[in-house]
């Protein structure tokens, strides 16, 4: 299948990210998402494009800001619009994979109910309650959160993404609440739909020490890999949320209802990061390197297909079916993607042979789209989009 997210493709969305853009906070300070790639209007054509590459599943996200633009006021036309699109997907023979939260928030969210406060939970519950009827009768796969660790690192620790906070304690409070919010999504969807196939999409990185011989770089990898790749998965499996990154952020709590709260494990895989210990806070520096000479991708990431197999083998421990909810490459000329895909799919097959129950693979992305901090430069699409 193929993957998309609302803000990156739909167009015409007013949310926290749109505000961030206007404040000039992207790496590309003048980039604006605007009409994105006009998918809200052209969705039927885009579904046909997905069919044409043989996809049988289509991942999209619901935009909270479209559904609840003003706190407590839900937009009936937006809800109907999503229902119509989901029914169309089904009619086209594409299984909907529906993300409830993919990085963005309504503009009121961070001031009123940010993730580090318990009020976020009730706000999310109200939102999910309105989303539940949209999923009725679709046999959809549902993802509560896309890449919570990326959102938390970017938005709460490094201040690069909305809400622009840089606070380890708030990061850990927000992390705990996102795990609780997943449990809430499960309750709300369960009440409305009975059985639901719910999981998360976890960004997973292969890690290596920047200096292979350096004990501190090596210890960093030993701490960061379980925290970044597994803390969220682990919490939804055992009910125990544990992050141990001394001097950065740590937490150790049991979350009620989180134990055994997914039907599948969602993995987003792109690359490997080399970690280097820095003598001053935040103590960690990371780089993408190209030790095997495959060439960095256009966005500057290492191509590391072997890491994919390793991480898929690691998630076997959760004893659930695995969905690859994203994998892909920014390849602006479109010359490297075939080999990238081939190499990565070979690793997926190897994982299956090694007994990992991989059920699905969703390529990121169907179309070139708005790439967050980088704006319109990167091209992850199977289809090239003429942005003009
Ligand atoms: C995100 C996508 C993003 C992609 C490429 C993932 O981190 O879920 O929204 O476009 O990777 O950076």
**What's the rounded Cα separation, in Å, for the pair 373 and 22?**
12
* Cis before 276 (ω within 30): no
Q: What is the pLDDT of residue 338?
A: 97
pLDDT number for residue 282 = 80
Cα distance between residue 71 and residue 135, in whole Å: 22
Nearest protein CA to atom 3 of ligand 1, as residue:
371
Q: How close is the Cα of 213 to the center of ligand 1, in Å?
A: 32
Alpha helices in 132-213 (DSSP H): 148-152, 168-193
Stated pTM of the model: 0.98
297 lines ligand 1 (CB under 6 A): no
Q: Are strands 265-277 and 284-287 parallel, antiparallel or unpaired?
A: antiparallel
Residues of the chain with pLDDT under 50: none
CA torsion sign for 266, 270, 276, 282 is negative
Q: Nearest 5°: phi and psi at 361? A: -140, 120
The answer to whether 321 and 357 have CB atoms below 8 angstroms apart is yes
Q: How far is the CA of 44 from the centre of ligand 1 (A)?
A: 23
C-alpha of 228 from chain center: 13
DSSP class of 291: T
Cα of 279 vs centre of ligand 1, distance in Å, is: 30
């Amino acid at each position: 299948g193929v993957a998309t997210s609302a803000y990156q493709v739909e167009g015409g969305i007013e949310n926290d990210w749109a505000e961030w853009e206007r404040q000039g906070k992207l790496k590309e300070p003048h980039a604006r998402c605007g009409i994105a790639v006009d998918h809200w209007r052209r969705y039927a054509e885009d579904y046909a494009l997905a069919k044409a590459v043989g996809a049988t599943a289509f991942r999209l996200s619901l935009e909270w800001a479209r559904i609840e633009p003003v706190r407590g006021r839900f937009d009936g036309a937006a809800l109907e619009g999503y229902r119509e699109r989901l029914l169309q997907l089904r009619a086209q023979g594409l299984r909907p994979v529906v993300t409830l939260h993919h990085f963005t928030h309504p503009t009121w969210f961070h001031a009123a109910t940010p993730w580090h406060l318990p009020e976020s939970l009730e706000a999310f519950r109200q939102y999910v309650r309105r989303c539940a009827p949209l999923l009725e009768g679709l046999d959809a796969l549902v993802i509560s959160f896309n890449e919570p660790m990326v959102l938390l690192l970017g938005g709460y620790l490094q201040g690069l993404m909305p809400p622009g906070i840089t606070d380890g304690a708030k990061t850990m409070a927000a992390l705990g609440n996102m795990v609780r919010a997943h449990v809430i999504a499960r309750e709300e969807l369960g009440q409305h739909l009975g059985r639901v196939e719910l999981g998360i999409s976890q960004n997973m990185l292969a890690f290596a020490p920047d200096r292979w011989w350096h004990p501190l770089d090596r210890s960093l990898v030993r701490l960061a890999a379980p925290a970044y790749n597994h803390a969220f998965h682990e919490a939804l499996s055992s009910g125990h949320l544990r992050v141990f990154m001394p001097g950065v952020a740590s937490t150790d709590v049991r979350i009620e209802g989180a134990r055994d709260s997914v039907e599948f494990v969602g993995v987003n895989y792109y690359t490997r990061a080399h970690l280097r210990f820095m003598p001053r806070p935040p103590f960690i520096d990371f780089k993408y390197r190209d030790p095997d000479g495959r060439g960095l991708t256009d966005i500057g990431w290492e191509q590391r297909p072997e890491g994919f197999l390793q991480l898929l083998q690691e998630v076997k421990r959760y004893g659930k079916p695995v969905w690859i909810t994203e994998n892909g490459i920014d390849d602006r000329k479109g010359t490297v993607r075939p080999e990238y895909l081939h190499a990565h799919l070979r690793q997926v097959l190897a994982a299956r042979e090694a007994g990992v129950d991989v059920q699905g693979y969703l390529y990121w992305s169907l179309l070139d789209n708005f790439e967050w901090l980088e704006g319109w430069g990167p091209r992850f699409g199977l289809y090239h989009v003429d942005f003009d």
